[in-house]
Amino acid sequence: MTQKHIPAWDIPTRLFHWLLVALIASAYLTYEFGDVTMTYHMWNGYAILTLCLYRLLWGLIGSNTARFSQFIKGPGAIIGYLKSARTATPQKFLGHNPAGALMVLVLLALIIGQGSMGLFTTDEILVEGPLVFLASSDWVDLAGSLHRIGFWVIMGFVALHVVAAFFYLFVKKENLIRPMVTGNKEAESVPAGETLQPRSPLLALICLAISAGVVWFAVNIGAYL
C-alpha cells in the first residue's frame, strides 16, 4: 500500500516555529503595553534568544529536515529551483526548498541580531539592557537604533514569508502551512523514498536547556565580572 502522507517535520521544529511566532507577537505587545521598566519585554527577548539558539543547535544535530547541512544550498541550487518552480515538474523537497531555506536563514539571523541588540539597548531613564555596562556609549546608541528599526525590518521579511506561504497554497496549490502544524506532507509533493528521520525529543530538550543556560549566563554576566 502506498503512503498518502509522509512525515516531514519533527515536533521540536514545529513547536519552535509556532512558539517563535507567539513570542514575536508578544515582544511587540510587551513593548507597546508592558510595564515602564520593560521587564516583560526583556524576559520575552531572552526567551526568543533561547529559542533561536536552540534552533541553531537543532540545526546541527536535529532530525534530517531540521539540519542546516540538508537545506542550506548555494546560489546555483536556488536559481535552479526557482527555474524549475515555473515548469510543470518542479523539484520536490521533503524539507525546505532552497529559496525557502534562504528566507529561514535571513529570518533567524535578523531575529538573533534583534534580540542581541536588545541586550545593549537603554532608554537612559528606566530601562537598561543587561549588557549595556559592557559597551561604549557609541555602541549602545547604535545597538538601540538597530533594535528600534530591526523590528520593522523583521516584520517586512515575515510579511514576505507569509505571502510566499499563501502563494504556494493558492497559486501553486501546495499546502506548506499544514505540514508545519501536523508534521506530514502529501506524498506527491515529496521525492520518492524520502522521509523524516526524527531525533529524540529528549535531545531537543537538552539543546533547549543548554540554550537557556547560555542566555541566562550572558544576561547575568555582570554578576561574574
Residues that bind ligand HEM (CB under 6 A): 13, 16-17, 20-21, 24, 55, 66, 96, 100, 104, 107-108, 158, 161-162, 165, 176-177, 180
Smallest separation (angstroms) from ligand HEM to the CB of 125: 29
Question: Nearest distance from residue 29's CB to ligand HEM, in Å?
Answer: 13
Residue 24 or 131 having the CB closest to ligand HEM: 24
- Which set of grid coordinates corresponds to residue 166? 499563501
Which H or E element spans position 109? helix 98-119
d(Cα 42, Cα 147) in Å, to the nearest integer? 12
Q: Residue 10 or residue 38: which is nearer to ligand HEM going by CB?
A: 10
Cβ closer to ligand HEM: 104 or 190? Answer: 104
Smallest distance, ligand HEM to C-beta of residue 35, A: 23
C-alpha cell at 203: 535531545
Q: 20 or 42: whose CB is closer to ligand HEM?
A: 20
Q: Which long-range contacts (CB under 8 A, 24 or more apart) does 210-214 make?
A: 210/54, 210/57, 211/50, 211/51, 211/53, 211/54, 211/57, 212/50, 214/53
